[in-house]
Amino acid sequence: MQHRGWRKERTVLTHDTAGKRVLVTTGLTTNHKGQLVAAMAIGDGATAILLPDMRINVAVNMLETIQDAETEQARIDNRKGRP
């Protein structure tokens, strides 16, 4: 697993759905025009540019997805009789 060499690069090591270790990277990089942009990437996949009008949406979507996962897991655990 390699870092991308971005400015202000931040990484989180996690696992994909197959259990393979993968880096989630956020940071500053340049686009095809040489402009500085905020971006994110998963593993060796494509880089997604986080445009100013969508940055908050991405953050909110991630938080809501985490909450959805916790809610659904609690529902599953309740059905199985787990505390």
Split at pLDDT 50, 70, 90, the class of 79 is confident
What's the average model confidence in pLDDT over 7-16? Answer: 94
The conformational region for residue 17 under phi > 0 = left, psi -120 to 50 = alpha, else beta, is: alpha
The pLDDT assigned to 1 comes to 65
DSSP state of 34: S
Domain segments of the chain as ranges: 1-50, 52-83
pLDDT tens-digit profile of 40-53? Answer: 999 999 999 999 99
Reduced to 3 states (helix: H, G, I; strand: E, B; else coil), residue 43 is: coil
- H or E element at residue 66: helix 55-79
The pLDDT assigned to 83 comes to 65
Record the pTM.
0.77
Q: Which amino acid is at 80?
A: K
